[in-house]
Amino acid sequence: IGQLTYSRAANENGDATFTVSGSDGDLSSEAAVVTLTVVPVNDAPSATIPTVTLVPVGTTLNPSLAGPMNFKSVATSADASKLAAVVDNGQVYVSTDSGANWTARESVRNWNSVAISTNGQVIAASVFRGKIYVSTDAGATWTPRESDRTWRSVSISTNGAVMAAVANGGQVYVSVDSGANWTARATSQLWNSIAVSADGSRMVASVYGGSLYTSADKGANWTSVASPRLWNSVASSPDGMKLVATEVAGSIWQSADGGTTWTANTAAGSRNWASVTMSADGSRLLAAVSGGKLYRSLDGGVSWKELGSNAAWASVAGSLDLKKAVVAVDGGAVSTTTDYNIPLTITVEEDSGAYAQAGFATGASAGPSN
């Protein structure tokens, strides 16, 4: 007895007809027509799920406020939806939609520093050889505060109640009533930058050619905590324990104990640092080099990525998680930058043709988002 085997071609289905006959070597039987019905196999479609690709803040710069203007300082609310920028021999610019649109506020002055509260309602801005101006309505109206001084930097607590400002060749000035009244603190030095903790209790300030100073009592008393260097920018975590300071033609310095000890970040290199900001937990840092590029760290400063192009970068600021930021060029423009994911593309491969077989996979739909 013979055996007949039929093998279907790939993806073949439906009726298959062929003719067979038997033979004993002498006589043959009549031919018989055989029809087989090939049922489609319910092969599961295969899909390749790519890995989500995160593009971190700083990688892509989105033009936001056109120039050229002499931008000196930028600031953001906690979520970076509210932004502020100041221009030397220009105005204060505010945005309430993450930089999509900007409105010029106040008069033309020598603005050089700006700070904004967590919700974006309270803004303080300083004028070199002028006053400190305070707004409590997101920049719509402004009130001049304190006296004409050589102001260099201003910082405020999350609710805007505590404000601190430094004057170059002057003192540190502190207000605990949203700028209504100010008290002179510390001694007269070449102060040039100051940062305030979330509740305003802790402060860090820098002196160009001098030391770094910290205060743990809302500016009442100050302690020298670093060697003399050409310090020019400081930043603080919300609790005031993680601090960052930059120097001209030098390093980025970090402290994890409220300024008691400082470590030079050699991985970032020696550069003409102009400005620095960091996330609330200190894991992310973004720094700008005057005449150089932007530098970003996603691991607390262990490693750094060079970003952007050479420019007169003047100021950087970001959201609490530093997944959004705003950067400014002196003599240039303001740009925004944010984390984003490259959209996923899923390729589904399945047998061709329309099948009516019950339970057969006919398509694929998106699963839960990452």
pLDDT in tens, 340-358: 988 766 555 555 444 444 4
pLDDT band at 370 (very low <50, low <70, confident <90, very high): very low
* 3-state class (DSSP) for residue 158: coil
Task: Give residue 365's pLDDT band: very low, low, confident or very high (50, 70, 90).
Answer: low
pLDDT at site 148: 98
**CB neighbours of residue 150 within 10 Å:** 17
Domain count, the chain: 1
Please report whether residue 20 resides in a domain. Answer: no
In a domain? residue 160: yes
355: in domain: no
The phi and psi torsions of 125 (rounded to 5 degrees) equal -140, 140
Whether 149 maps to a domain, the answer reads: yes
- Residue 325 falls within a domain, yes or no? yes
6 domain residue, yes or no:
no
Q: What mean pLDDT comes out for the span 246-272?
A: 98
Q: What are the tokens at 221? A: 């008393």
CATH number, residue 295: 2.130.10.10
What pLDDT, in 10s, does the model give residues 102-123?
999 999 999 999 999 999 999 9
Q: Which two tokens stand for residue 56?
A: 């971190």
Total length of the chain: 370
Backbone phi, then psi, for 6, in 5-degree steps?
-120, 125
Average pLDDT, the chain: 91
Q: Identify whether the C-beta of residue 357 lies closer than 8 Å to the C-beta of residue 39.
A: yes
User: What mean pLDDT is predicted for residues 210-232?
Assistant: 98
DSSP string for 50-93: PPPEEE-TTSS-EEEEEEEEEEEEEEE-TTSSSEEEEEEEEEEE
Token reading at 89: 């021999």
- Report the pLDDT value the prediction gives residue 49, as an integer from 0 to 100: 62
User: How would you class 212 by CB atoms within 10 Å of its CB: exposed for 0-12, middle for 13-18, buried for 19 or more?
Assistant: buried
Average pLDDT (256-264) is 98
Q: Computed from CA positions of residues 183, 172, 167, 245, in that sequence, does the dihedral angle turn out positive or negative?
A: negative
Residue 293 · residue 287 · CB < 8 Å: no
Q: Is the pLDDT of residue 65 over 70?
A: yes
Domain membership of residue 345 (yes or no) is: no
In the block, which residue shows the tokens 């001694």?
A: 187
The predicted pLDDT at position 40 comes to 67
Looking up tokens 């009592």 gives 217
Question: Which residue do the tokens 């260099």 mark?
Answer: 152
Burial 113-136 (b: 16+ CB within 10 A, else e): bbbbbbebbbbbbbbbebbbbbbb
Is the preceding omega at residue 368 within 30 degrees of 0, hence cis?
no
pLDDT of residue 31: 82
Q: Is the dihedral of CA 116, 121, 126, 132 positive or negative?
A: negative
Which candidate, 317, 333, 248, 257, places its Cα nearest to that of 284?
317
8 A C-beta contact, residue 324 and residue 339: yes
Tens-place pLDDT, residues 273-315: 999 999 999 999 999 999 999 999 999 999 999 999 999 999 9
> For residue 265, what are the domain limits?
59-336
Cβ–Cβ contacts within 10 Å for residue 321, how many?
Answer: 16
Cα angle, residue 279 at apex, residues 274 and 284 outer, rounded to 5°? 75
Residue 30 domain-assigned (yes or no): no
Q: Which structure tokens are listed for 302?
A: 């262990």
